[in-house]
Every structure is written in C-alpha cells, then in structure tokens.
Copies of this chain bind each other. A is one copy, B any other.
C-alpha cells in the first residue's frame, strides 16, 4: 500500500519504519528538501522515500499526520488540500505547547480541536483522529500491553473509520476500538493528553494505555 506520512519526528519515523518493514511503500515528508533526518531515514530501505508534504500527500493512498500539532495546519496546507481530496487522513498529532515546560498545555482545545481544524481546512479529506492517545512505542506494538486496552477514534466519515480500524489491526495488531462519533470528539481525545502527560510522569513510562472497566451487563 502507498502510505504518506507528514512529519519526520519520532512518531512519523516509528510508524514509517514499521510500515515499510511490512512491505508498504512509504513516503516520509518534512518541510524542506534536502532533509538530513528524512533522507537518512529513507536511505535505510528500498521501499522508503522522503519528499515534501505535497509529494507525500500525492503519494499516499492514505496519509498520516504525524507532525507536531503546533505545525499541523501549516503542514496540511503545504501538502495541498486538493491532493487529500477523497483520501483518508489519519490525524495522529496533538497540539501540545511545551513553551512553559512539562507537562504541556494545549494550543487548541476545549471548544475546538486540531482534528476539527484539519477537517475544516481539507473538507474533502476523510479525517479520522486516531493513535494520538498513546505513545509511538504503543501505537506500533499494542500487544506489548496486557488486557483489552482500547484505542478511541472519531471522524465524520463512518467508512473511513472502518478502513482505519482495519488498517490499524492489519498493520500493528490493534484489537479494541471505541468510536466516539464525529470529529468534534477529537476535543476529548486531545484533552486526554493533559491527563496522559501526568500519568506518564507518575508511572515513569509512556508504555501504557487504558482498559475500560465496565459493570457486567445485567
């Protein structure tokens, strides 16, 4: 499958490494060309490439937004919303503002979300917010954690959400999803990071996720 990944940070490189190892044709994208990190990453396997945001948006049958959330709107604009029309755009990013240190605040939140901003910017893209609730190490290897831990996701396009569930199962082994509804639920998925970062501090690791404990059905 042809996959475009926006962002050359740890999340983009980690997802891209697993996807290229599984045989997919992956293009990682950054702001600039040449790009030492991106081109170095691409040189490690024949089915890896590096390109501009526009290149990756054109390349991918699906596009993963793994940019820093503070720059995601600019990245998608640079990618060209016309290149994303009809495509599934998985928004993995969080609008974390570390300018005051750790734990971060959210640059967008409460009455808006990055997921909604990207869907508004690219109305013909099929935005699905997913994977943003766990660390990159968990995104690509959910089986490392015990129990029926869950991945929330949301988006306005039911078929796109079904596709993403299937891909995340096939690519990484994700088993348990919770569909939170339309893209505005990204407000909840992104706000989770305000708790996630503090749990990270308390637990001393990002290798965790949540299992929903529910009362037995009567």
Contact = CB atoms under 8 A, between A and B. Distances in A.
A145 B213 contact: yes
Contacts of A178: 199, 202-203
Interface residues of A, number: 43
Contact of A145 (B147, B188, B191, B215): B215
Given A110-B106, A189-B195, A213 B209 contact: yes
Given A191-B195, A209-B212, 17 more contacts: A103-B188, A105-B111, A109-B191, A110-B194, A146-B213, A152-B199, A178-B203, A180-B201, A181-B198, A188-B195, A188-B199, A192-B195, A203-B212, A203-B214, A205-B214, A208-B214, A208-B215
A7 B105 CA distance: 30
30 contacts: A105-B110, A109-B110, A109-B191, A145-B213, A145-B214, A146-B216, A147-B147, A152-B195, A152-B198, A152-B199, A154-B198, A180-B198, A180-B199, A181-B198, A181-B201, A181-B202, A185-B198, A187-B194, A188-B194, A188-B196, A188-B197, A188-B198, A191-B191, A192-B195, A199-B212, A205-B214, A207-B214, A209-B212, A210-B210, A211-B212
User: Number of copies of this chain in the oligomer?
Assistant: 2
A180 B192 contact: no
Given A191-B192, A199-B178, A211 B214 contact: no
